Amino acid sequence: MTKPVPADVVSRLKAVLGEGGWSQDPDVIAPMLVEWRGRWKGETPLLVTPRTTVEVAAVVGICAAEGVAITPQGGNTGLVAGQIPHGEILLSTRKLTVVRDVDPIDDVMVLEAGVTLYEAHQQAAKVGRRFTVGVASEGSCTIGGLISTNAGGTAVLRYGMMREQVLGIEAVLPNGEIWNGLKRLRKDNTGYDLKQLLIGAEGTLGVVTAASLKIQAPLASRAVAIVGLGSPADAIQLLARAKEETGGSVEAFELMGLLGFALTVRNVPGLRDPLPTEHPWYVLIEIASGEPRAAEAALERLLTGALESGLIADAAVAQTETQEKAFWHIREGHSAGQKPEGAVWKHDVSVPVSKIPDFIARADAAIEQAFPGTRIVAFGHVGDGNVHYDVLKPVGADDDAHDVQREAGAKIVHDIAASVSGSISAEHGLGAMKTAEALTYKDPIEVAALRAIRQALDPKRIMNPRVLF
């Protein structure tokens, strides 16, 4: 628990923001104090909702002068508790929603931090462009949150993480000063790249208030298929073949095990298995091209060759946009499909793509030996090495009994990921959940350097103090 916030600081914050810029109403604040799965619950003496960058600076400036801690929050879709306050001032960026510019000549859009990912997609589409970050929570996650956590998503294989989409940032630094770094340059070799420090910093080095983001030209053809195959090793071979045969046109390549696939189809309304029989593993492939009909032709060639060689057992190709969305809903519905099954340990790891089969096999064996009866759902962005490795409680078991073994299970999974040069957090960040654990796996020299950077920018450690070393 953070030290109590003095009453006079609360009063000053209310005064500087004015009516509509703060709340102490429990009904208003309550949803923002709970992580969406209900695993973490927090508390705050005051919710502040600044409407401009200047107001954010005023809030941070007051808190910096008084040594009062702040937890920034975007859309509250984070999965590692980095956005949940425990006594700090809760600073929501949801009211920073101005679309400052969308420019198809520079292929840039400048959006404030509270703009949702869905709205970002809509703004790009209005000028005939695309914003290529895609995550299941697009209706609620925000640009500021995506930047602060360096979000990944389904198109990292082709376009990279959120880090690769950001050209410039405006932010309020921990001393309350506004840094206007909203450049839209592809090249700028003039010293340290401050924006890259803020991306993925989880609110510890300042509050992102706006960003200049890359947008891409539209693609003329797109093709989506769900494939049934025998093993993760087969999936890796299929990925290599897809890259070679499509000339780099693979937009997404998503792996799903049978259990996760079946739970999603069973528990999420409106879904069905597009293949006539079950398979041990599934892959969702999306290919996109700037040439008309090229994606469809490339996918057909890929699947025909893979079927003839026995690499895959079956495939269903979406014939309409509605079917494409339904196929994607199966992949994106995995978390919702697990929810009715009760307690689950979720692990967000990354390993070299070539090591995915080895990681899954070793983790499965170790978890099954240590926790007999648990059910394993492995899925994720196999094209970039990100495996979501979830362990569900045994059928009929007690939720609490499963929850108390979470840390022991995480150590097993994370130790195996680390042994193949992987990471314990691929795209969710460390937050409050993994900060202490990460010290076990990160190089001490690296940790010392990260601490030195933080100390230089936030000597009073007021920004998200429970997060990141």
Alpha carbon distances (Å) from 202 to 27, 146, 428: 26, 9, 10
Please tell me the predicted confidence (pLDDT) of residue 1: 57
Task: Outline where DSSP puts E strands in 94-147.
Answer: 99-103, 108-112
The set of residues, in sequence order, having a beta carbon less than 8 Å from that of 105 and lying 6+ positions away, is none
Alpha carbon distances (Å) from 297 to 31, 117, 254, 330, 421: 47, 31, 20, 24, 37
Residue appearing with tokens 């091209």:
289
Q: Where are the alpha helices (DSSP H) in 222-310?
A: 232-246, 258-267, 294-309
Which pTM value belongs to this model? Answer: 0.90
- Left (φ > 0), alpha (ψ -120 to 50) or beta: where does 38 sit? left
* Residue 34 identity (one-letter amino acid): V
Token digits of residue 299: 């996918």
Please tell me the predicted confidence (pLDDT) of residue 37: 72
- 3-class DSSP state for residue 227? strand
Please tell me the predicted confidence (pLDDT) of residue 370: 98
Give the integer Cα–Cα distance in Å for 200 and 430: 10
- CA-CA-CA-CA torsion for 37, 40, 43, 49, nearest 10 degrees? -50
Task: State the distance between the two ends of the chain, measured CA to CA, in whole angstroms.
Answer: 16
Please tell me the predicted confidence (pLDDT) of residue 298: 96
Token digits of residue 85: 């306050």
Please tell me the predicted confidence (pLDDT) of residue 136: 81
CA dihedral sign of residues 382, 429, 33, 52: negative
Give Cα 33 distance to the centre of its chain: 19
Give the integer Cα–Cα distance in Å for 319 and 145: 35
Give the integer Cα–Cα distance in Å for 254 and 331: 8
The set of residues, in sequence order, having a beta carbon less than 8 Å from that of 211 and lying 6+ positions away, is 110, 111, 113, 143, 144, 147, 166, 167, 168, 169, 170, 182
Spans of the chain, pLDDT less than 50: none
Token digits of residue 379: 């899925």
In eight-state DSSP terms, residue 251 is E
Exposure b/e, 321-349, CB count within 10 A at least 16 = b:
eeebebbbbbbbbbbbbbeebbbbbbbbb
Token digits of residue 16: 């500087």
